[in-house]
């Protein structure tokens, strides 16, 4: 069986940081995200092959990345035959967007279909989560909540769509400050944070409040309320990173310059709000009507600026 799927990356507006179970990628906190259009991962899985193959962007991979893909296929079916996986991202890794979310969402979808299994979308989201936590949010378009869940087997920890891509006319602007690989992986950073930051407990304890505020703001289309919760969630996440031993500091001078620019734009009555992830790039949420002006202002600080729309569901082609 040969199946192909497409999935889009997503950006958390209420952040995910910290795991309650590392092996199953169960999060310590719930999160909320926006799935992005324009960019996607396209993946073909062919069930049955002479040996395992993983071809990424036309290049046969042999490294740890390939191993991760093959192990992931083992989760789909422990008794699987050898498989061939061909995956392409239509966006540069320099785009400042983690490609692992769209990658594992597309792989879970195509792999499940190719294996002939009949899984529900929730089950595929649970599967994708085990490849990369945030991938569980990329199964759906628009606005998605990832519930942290309570179960130790993780069966209640998956994405839930709370609004479709056409719900709200917003843009997400991605300001790329650096395209270098991050200095410390998210998983390692999360573990170090949980083990050494005195702020970690407060982060975990107050995250649900931000998810509730964010969900309400999305449903009410209240950008100021969502933006405030998003920046607060982002800065809380960074606070746990700054206070680990040794400190994790992803910010660069330009990151601060862009945050200051966002603040200046707000003073001139443009509702725009920043978020960041485990790296120095800055993402800004604003109304579609303001997107060009915001992008132009941000463009004073970096030459790579993407204006992205809300994207749709992951799909089998």
Report in angstroms how near the CB of residue 206 gets to a second copy at its nearest: 4
Looking only at the bridges linking them, the beta strands covering 2-7 and 159-163 are unpaired
Q: Which is nearer to a second copy, 163 or 284 (CB)?
A: 284
Report in angstroms how near the CB of residue 98 gets to a second copy at its nearest: 22
- The sign of the CA dihedral 114, 115, 121, 123 is negative
Helices (H), the chain: 64-76, 100-114, 121-131, 186-196, 200-219, 223-242, 253-267, 291-298
Q: How many residues bind a second copy (CB under 8 A)?
A: 30
Per-residue x/- mask for a second copy, residues 226 to 245, rule CB under 8 A?
A: --x--xx--xx-xxx-xx-x
State both tokens at 260. 């200051």
Q: Which is nearer to a second copy, 55 or 257 (CB)?
A: 257
State both tokens at 53. 């193959």
Among 43, 203, 279, 283, binds a second copy (CB under 8 A): 203
Per-residue x/- mask for a second copy, residues 210 to 229, rule CB under 8 A?
A: ------------------x-
Q: Which is nearer to a second copy, 216 or 245 (CB)?
A: 245
Is there binding between residue 249 and a second copy (CB under 8 A)? yes
- Give the DSSP H/E element, type plus range, for residue 316: strand 315-316
Structure-token match 């799935």, residue found? 35
Per-residue x/- mask for a second copy, residues 5 to 34, rule CB under 8 A?
A: ------------------------------
In angstroms, the CA 115 to CA 305 distance is 39
**If you ran DSSP here, which 8-state letter would residue 310 be given?**
B
Dihedral pair phi/psi, residue 10, rounded to 5°: -135, 160
Span 258-287, contacts to a second copy by CB under 8 A: 259-260
Helix axes 291-298, 253-267, angle to 10 degrees: 140
Q: Which is nearer to a second copy, 4 or 210 (CB)?
A: 210
Is there binding between residue 251 and a second copy (CB under 8 A)? yes
Q: Which is nearer to a second copy, 40 or 283 (CB)?
A: 283
Report in angstroms how near the CB of residue 134 gets to a second copy at its nearest: 23
State both tokens at 140. 């759906």
In angstroms, the CA 12 to CA 145 distance is 9
Span 171-200, contacts to a second copy by CB under 8 A: 198-199
State both tokens at 240. 């746990």
Footprint on this chain of a second copy (rule: CB under 8 A): 198-199, 201-203, 205-206, 228, 231-232, 235-236, 238-240, 242-243, 245-247, 249, 251-257, 259-260
């Amino acid at each position: 069986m040969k199946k192909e799927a497409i999935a889009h990356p997503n950006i958390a507006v209420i952040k995910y940081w910290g795991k309650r179970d590392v092996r199953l990628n169960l999060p310590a906190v719930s999160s909320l995200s926006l799935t992005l259009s324009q960019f996607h991962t396209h993946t073909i899985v062919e069930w049955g092959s002479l040996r395992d193959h993983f071809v990424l962007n036309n290049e046969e991979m042999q490294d740890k990345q390939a191993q991760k893909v093959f192990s992931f296929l083992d989760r789909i079916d422990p008794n699987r035959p050898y498989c061939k996986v061909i995956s392409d991202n239509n966006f540069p890794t320099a785009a400042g967007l983690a490609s692992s979310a769209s990658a594992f969402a597309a792989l879970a979808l195509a792999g499940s279909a190719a294996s002939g299994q009949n899984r529900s979308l929730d089950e595929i989201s649970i599967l994708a989560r085990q490849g990369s936590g945030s991938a569980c949010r990329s199964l759906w378009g628009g606005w998605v909540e990832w519930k942290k869940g309570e179960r130790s087997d993780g069966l209640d920890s998956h994405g839930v769509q709370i609004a479709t891509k056409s719900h709200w006319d917003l843009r997400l602007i991605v300001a790329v400050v650096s395209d270098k690989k991050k200095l410390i992986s998210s998983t390692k950073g999360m573990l170090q944070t949980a083990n050494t930051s005195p702020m970690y407990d407060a982060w975990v304890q107050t995250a649900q409040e931000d998810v509730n505020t964010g969900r309400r703001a999305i449903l009410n289309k209240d950008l100021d309320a969502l933006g405030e919760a998003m920046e607060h969630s982002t800065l809380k996440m960074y606070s746990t990173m700054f206070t680990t031993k040794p400190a994790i500091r992803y910010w660069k001078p330009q990151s601060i310059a862009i945050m200051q620019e966002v603040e200046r734009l707000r003073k001139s009555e443009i509702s725009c709000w920043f978020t960041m992830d485990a790296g120095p790039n800055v993402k800004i949420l604003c109304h579609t009507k303001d997107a060009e002006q915001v992008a132009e202002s941000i463009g004073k600080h970096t030459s790579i600026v993407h204006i992205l729309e809300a994207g749709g569901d992951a799909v089998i082609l």
